[in-house]
Chain A
Amino acid sequence: MATIQDKIAALCPEAQFEQADVLQVTVPEAKWHDLAVALRHDADLAFDYLITIVGMDWQESMGCIYYMMSTSRGNETLAVKVIAAGTRKSPYLPSVFDVWAVATLYEREVYDFFGIIFVNNPDMRRLFLSIDWVGYPLRKDYDTDPKLNPISTESERQSDFTDTWTLEKGKLVKNEVRVFQPEDFVVNIGPQHPSTHGVLRFRTCIDGETIKKIDVYMGYIHRGIEKLMEGLTYPQCLPFLDRMDYFSAQNYHSGMCRLVERAAGIKISRRAEVIRVMMDELSRIASHCLFMGTFCMDLGATSMLFYTLRVREQILDIMEKTCGARMTFNYPCIGGVMQDLHPDFQKDVKALLEIIPANIKEYQKLFTGNVIAKERMVGVGLLSKEDAISYGVTGPSGRASGWSCDLRKIRPYSIYPELDFEEVLATEGDSMARFNVRLHEIEQSAKILEQLVDNIPEGEYCVKVPKVIKLPAGHWFEMTEGCRGVLGIYLESDGGTTPYRVKLAPPCLPLAGVVDHITEGMKIADLITIGGSLDYIIPDMDR
């Protein structure tokens, strides 16, 4: 750690260091862009993966915390805090879109929520909220009066232009840039479209059947979870995690619980840890099963959905017996899990483990071995490892490009270090690889379950926690491996019972950001393949 600190101090003498759970550097706004370039490109630093940008409103000032990771140097993390320049009316920061590709999207998100303008960002539109939205909702002084932003049944205003801001002699200047040329043939795909998996919207410029450019619109299911959490106690925050990526409900939920437990200094029993890990892996299998089904359905092989859902139903039965719900389980709680395991749990899991290998064989025979499926998937939607890191594409999609990004391996949490499983990696980076990685991850998850099913230790399933959970003032950052990638959770507390700021950095947001990059020059049908193989969940990216 010391070397990084020295290195940064040498680059930027004004930097102040703070050792929280992640080393945090505070740098002045003027030096930030140069430092970012150095952080990214210096061989001793090489922070090539930007995890998230946390926009902050500290009332007296506004700014951002950039969380980044170095994939080449042992996955070290670093946080950089930058206070925005300018007035509260128009705060601004230099953009780092040229350093990390995903920053373009993250900066748009911060702009949308906080109104912080990123100078030189090529696309400074609102991301989630409509073009005419009044105010910046995550600011502490946001006016929630519904009269300002009434629900309208009239179509929202549409613009072919985007804004960029430049700094000229200390003054912000706004410029308009065309997204689509007037002669472009733009097809609107979504938000209501069977293969966008929800309400994502692509404005697609096509030339015949070939895609020239895609402009992604989000926010059709933006529910403002982060703002809602600021008004709720910690246990009350938890159910929202289930409703983001509803397939990773279990994983996200236990991730958040872990964060609060760490912050509050609660140590949970080993039994609870084991139960959580088993439930996580069960949901991972269920999630990947559904992925395979819907993906094949997008490709036109409808029957596959029914075969994969059969396994999923069996898993849901197991979950249901213990958790009482089929999808949004709300099972882990701060201090452990809500209920003890159902007596049938072990028997059911063993029955499930027995059928999984046969099913995987069946899927391979039915789908991956099919010549049409190969034609549709091999070489479609190539994503190189460098791009995957730069665009922040984590999870199975990132691993299909050869990026070892499985948090269970690289930054193991809970009881994962003790478990024997492999990180599934592929090098092709195409849709086929993304499909296969998920298929093999089912096997690995089954392997984990096999190790644990007979070794569930006795003990209490939930330790005693205070009735009212209060966290000390401070901030924490936790990453957890969902079914689709890394979920980063940033939590800032001012010492009360409710969080001061929660930032959820979902894995699906970068997945949507990379679509334009990898579909260029592909066919319309490939857009469906690529979208399906990336497997984004819209409520997860929109929150």
Chain B
Amino acid sequence: MFDFSVVTTWINQFLLDTCGMPQWLTTTIECVLIGVCLLLAYALLALFYIIYERKICAYIQCRVGPVRVGPWGLLQVFADMFKILIKELIHLQNIDKFLFALAPYLVIIASMLAFAVLPWGNGLQIIDFNIGIFFLIAVSSIGVLGILLAGWSSSNKFTLIGAMRSGAQMVSYELSIGLSILTMVCLAGTMSVGGIVSEQADLWFIFKGHIPAVIAFIVYLIAATAETNRGPFDLPEAESELTAGYHTEYSGIHFGFFYLAEYLNLFIVSGVASLMFLGGWMPLHIPGWEGFNHVMDYIPSIVWFLGKCFLLSYVIIWFKWTFPRIRIDNMLALEWKYLLPINLVNLVLMVLVIAFNLHF
């Protein structure tokens, strides 16, 4: 399997030895390089996700979706982005201007930070430290702050209701996400993202941990849908109730940030799911089937990772276009009355499984 660390080490060596740069300059250049790549990946992924969702939704609804701009309508999202970039930013009166301007950046930064620890491929990870998954959960919760601020600072009753809803929703479902990840961390025995992936070299966790892992996976998928504010949990922006929810008053690129972040969060939660349950970039390995494992290794690791992400995102998009929106009290009841107890029991179950060595 191709290891991307060969490339990164070569760049590092090239800058240090061949060009003779000092250590600090090398690090700076590498940081800038990574930043550029990250931004590029960010923008491209978001655009891809927008067209992806529009096509899937069209497919579900017996339509064809965008086809006119570019081949198969692929350039549609670029046209949308160009337009959003140059659309007027409306300056509102009687608002908290600083917070109003800050909110979209908070949302976008939260999702961008989470990119840092995602394992894109073998050796293709920006930073791998021992509390990687903890860091990921921590930074992804900054997003809710942005949404709350957006709703609060707009000085509009709809946005305020939307923000309060999202506050209640995201704080609640953060618990489920945390607990289901904790369940899997127990199985992995490490919080380092690299460690988690290499633990799954022989078998993915969802198979390894069998029953508790599957339960954790389902709980995670539900909680992740809620965490990204997507249907059926799209209450904060509930179009038919609150017009556009917390970002009602945003126009132009500020709205574009919310729009992009929504899709990026979708990618991130699918990335975490594929990391925790489906082996990250690790190909499908089945113990004992050497030939099969060998064939699987020929598929590049980045394809594995992105493939898993897109597949999981497909499921989440599928939810959105199938289910009606849940009501706020039902949503909170689902979390506090069902998911949380299930999660706690599941954690105990997982610990038992590990203690008695019942996993594969």
- Interface, chain A (partner B; CB < 8 A): 185, 187-188, 193-195, 209, 296-303, 306-307, 310, 366-367, 370, 372-373, 375-376, 523-526, 528
Contacts and interface: CB of A to CB of B under 8 A. Distances in A.
Contact of A524 (B161, B321, B323, B326): B161
A373 B232 CA distance: 11
Contacts of A525: 235, 238, 241, 325, 327-328
A297 B322 CA distance: 11
B68 interface: no
Contacts, number: 81
Most chain A C-beta atoms within 10 Å of own C-beta, residue among B60, B165, B327: B327
Interface of B: 57, 60-63, 157-158, 161, 165, 231-232, 234-235, 238-241, 243, 321-330
Q: Across the A-B interface, give the 5 residue pairs with the lowest CB-CB distance, nearest first.
A: A300-B325, A299-B324, A301-B324, A195-B240, A306-B61
B238 A372 contact: no
Contacts of A370: 323-324
B61 A297 contact: no
A310 B62 CA distance: 9
Given A187-B157, A306-B61, A300 B322 contact: no
Nearest to B244: A194
A524 B231 CA distance: 17
Nearest to B235: A525
Contact of B232 (A297, A298, A300, A523): A300
11 contacts: A187-B158, A194-B243, A209-B328, A299-B240, A300-B231, A302-B57, A303-B57, A306-B61, A367-B324, A372-B324, A373-B324
Contacts of B61: 302-303, 306-307
A376 B63 contact: no
A83 to B, nearest CB: 47
B60 A303 contact: yes
Given A310-B62, A372-B232, A301 B238 contact: no
Contacts of B231: 300
A297 B326 CA distance: 13
Nearest to A380: B327
A299 B62 contact: no
A523 B327 contact: yes
A366 B62 CA distance: 15
Contact of A526 (B158, B321, B322, B327): B327
Nearest to A531: B240
A296 B324 contact: yes
Contacts of A302: 57, 61, 321
Nearest to B62: A306
B64 to A, nearest CB: 12
Most chain B C-beta atoms within 10 Å of own C-beta, residue among A185, A310, A370, A375: A375
A302 B57 CA distance: 10
Given A296-B324, A525-B235, 7 more contacts: A187-B157, A300-B234, A300-B238, A300-B325, A306-B63, A310-B62, A370-B324
